[in-house]
């Protein structure tokens, strides 16, 4: 995966890829692109701050922020200074199931990494991991099985630029979050209906 390109190009290709960290690996099934200064919904829209600094680094590391007490992670893309990143919203646990279960008790396996906060909890990612580079601390991004059908639609819970269809998800995955709130505006190869 070439993370030197902008997030909008990288995001759909990340679907199906496997993210491994701290004994748990997830197959990515839902992502959103955020395009820095040109994107009013991005944390980087108003420039660099102490919180989003790692977003401005060159692609190949993660940006982790906390929101309402939950951690959320982005895969930073593009050249240094662009602040282009892909929010990882959901995945399916494919490795370290016992470990993931212990971090999220009383949740069905399909939903262990459903939602950005839940995915980070399953992987053991916290704000302290902000800026970690792929290859460091056991953080890995591996090729995997791409979805049969990729659905595209507006991003979830953003108050600005809500109409940009920059959310991509595996139309067949039960781990995709919040599909009810926004309809798909376009669908991939098999034309799958995404929300359920």
Partner DNA sequence: AAGATGATTGCCT
Partner DNA sequence: GGCAATCATCTTA
Q: Where on the chain is the footprint of DNA (CB under 7 A)?
A: 32, 34, 41-44, 46, 49-52, 55, 63, 65-70, 72, 74, 85, 87, 107, 115-119, 127, 155-160, 177-178, 180-181
Q: Which is nearer to DNA, 76 or 189 (CB)?
A: 76
Q: Which is nearer to DNA, 145 or 157 (CB)?
A: 157
**Structure token pair of residue 110:** 């399909």
Sign of CA dihedral 47, 167, 124, 27: negative
CB of 190 to DNA, least distance (A): 25
Q: From the CB of 48, what's the least distance to DNA, in Å?
A: 8
CA proximity to 160, closest of 53, 78, 43? 43
Phi, psi dihedrals of residue 150, rounded to the nearest 5°: -105, 125
Exposure string for 69-100, b = 16+ CB within 10 A, e = fewer: eebbbbbbbbeeebbbbbbbbbbbbbebeeeb
Contact status, residue 172 vs residue 151, Cβ threshold 8 Å: no
Whole-number Cα distances in Å, 13 to 30, 52, 148: 11, 24, 13
3-state class (DSSP) for residue 87: strand
Q: Between 20 and 48, whose beta carbon lies closer to DNA?
A: 48
Q: Compare residues 116 and 188 and give the one whose CB is closer to DNA.
A: 116
Quick one: 34 or 134, whose CB is closer to DNA? 34
Q: How far is the CB of 108 from DNA (least distance, A)?
A: 11
CB of 66 to DNA, least distance (A): 4
Closest approach, Cβ 189 to DNA, in A, equals: 27
């Amino acid at each position: 995966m070439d993370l030197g390109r902008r997030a909008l190009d990288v995001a759909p290709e990340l679907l199906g890829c496997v993210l491994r960290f701290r004994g748990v690996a997830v197959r990515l099934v839902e992502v959103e692109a955020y395009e820095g200064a040109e994107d009013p919904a991005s944390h980087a829209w108003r420039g660099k701050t102490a919180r989003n600094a790692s977003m401005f680094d060159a692609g190949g590391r993660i940006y982790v922020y906390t929101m309402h007490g939950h951690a959320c992670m982005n895969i930073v893309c593009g050249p240094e200074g662009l602040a282009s990143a892909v929010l990882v919203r959901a995945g399916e646990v494919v490795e370290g199931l016992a470990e993931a279960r212990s971090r999220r008790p009383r949740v069905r396996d399909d939903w262990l990494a459903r939602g950005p906060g839940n995915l980070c909890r399953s992987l053991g990612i916290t704000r302290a991991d902000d800026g970690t580079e792929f290859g460091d601390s056991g953080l890995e991004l591996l090729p995997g099985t791409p979805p049969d059908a990729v659905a595209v639609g507006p991003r979830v819970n953003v108050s600005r630029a809500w109409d940009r269809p920059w959310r991509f998800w595996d139309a067949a995955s039960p781990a995709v979050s919040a599909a009810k709130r926004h309809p798909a505006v376009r669908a991939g190869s098999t034309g799958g209906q995404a929300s359920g």
